[in-house]
Amino acid sequence: MVFLQFILECNKIFMMKAFDKKYFNKEIKYIAGVDEAGRGPLAGPVVAAAVIFSKRTFIEGVNDSKQLTENQREKLFDIIISKALTYSVSVVEPEVIDEVNILNATFRAMKQAVDNLKFKPDLVLVDGNRKFLSDVQVVTIVKGDTKSFSIAAASILAKVTRDRLMKNLAVQYPVYLWEKNKGYPTKQHREIIKKIGASPLHRKSFLKNILTEQQVFEFNSRAIETKQNES
């Protein structure tokens, strides 16, 4: 049974590698896979990752990050960065998300991740059906994290990075239990916000149906005071 599972997993990875390989030609020698983590949470940043592999790189276990356990993702993270020709991770903070909206913040994170690679790819494969502006050709792949080896690897880098960030932030704001919910809108997380209000790291544009008018006022007042103190 274990051997059969191993064969099925390897077959899936071969299919994902084959998906990427069909884009290679004389002009396209380096392909970057791009994906994000954190579009849906109520708190914390959105994170995007970009990664480029050689045509021959094979990493057992690579899959859509949502299909993997936390332990599997953590192990694969180190293997991916050790075998990548280059990789980059970009973080866009909650205040930017509120300012430009989550879609544009995600595009910003993706573009930054690609721009920060050690060398420029010839093609970018991105998960989803919307593309960000780039001087490199961008191809959108619906459910790309289940089809493309490089996108799946990028999804693991983005997810692990964001989860680690949220665990670190949970030390500063332990009451919200971010080490467990990672900022996502679980019932427990929503109830905590309703009870005590939001933190500076919550996305206020995501909380309109959770906070009372008074809590929104207090939240906005704290944000204004913070900006004044920083200036």
pLDDT tens digit string along 37-57? 999 999 999 999 999 999 999
Boundary residue ending a domain (169, 197, 222): 169
Asked if the model's pLDDT at residue 167 lies above 90, the reply is: yes
Asked if the model's pLDDT at residue 231 lies above 60, the reply is: no
10 in the Ramachandran plot: left (φ > 0), alpha (ψ -120 to 50) or beta?
alpha
For residue 108, give the nearest of 39, 182, 160, 165 by alpha carbon: 39
Asked if the model's pLDDT at residue 230 lies above 60, the reply is: no
Boundary residue ending a domain (149, 169, 189): 169
What is the reported pLDDT for 101? 97
Domain coverage including residue 226 = 170-230
**Which is it for strands 123-127 and 86-92: parallel, antiparallel or unpaired?**
unpaired
Cα–Cα separations (whole angstroms), residue 17 to 50, 57, 58, 221 = 16, 9, 8, 51
Least confident of 102-106, 150-154, 220-224: 220-224
- Structure tokens, 21: 């390989």
Q: Does residue 10 sit in helix, strand or coil?
A: helix
Q: How many helices (H) and strands (E) does the chain have?
A: 8, 5
Based on the domain organization, do 92 and 193 belong to the same domain? no
For residue 63, give the nearest of 46, 79, 39 by alpha carbon: 79
What is the reported pLDDT for 93? 98
Going by pLDDT thresholds of 50, 70 and 90, the confidence category of residue 218 is low
Based on the domain organization, do 70 and 124 belong to the same domain? yes
Distance between terminal CA atoms of the chain? 62
Based on the domain organization, do 29 and 122 belong to the same domain? yes
Based on the domain organization, do 176 and 124 belong to the same domain? no
Boundary residue ending a domain (125, 145, 169): 169
- The whole-chain average pLDDT of the chain stands at 90
Stated as kind and residue range, the H or E segment containing 124 is: strand 123-127
Going by pLDDT thresholds of 50, 70 and 90, the confidence category of residue 228 is very low
Q: Please, are residues 86 and 120 in contact by the beta-carbon 8 Å criterion?
A: no
Based on the domain organization, do 41 and 93 belong to the same domain? yes
Based on the domain organization, do 106 and 216 belong to the same domain? no
Number of structural domains, the chain? 2
User: Which CATH number characterizes residue 155's domain?
Assistant: 3.30.420.10
What is the reported pLDDT for 209? 83
Asked if the model's pLDDT at residue 99 lies above 90, the reply is: yes
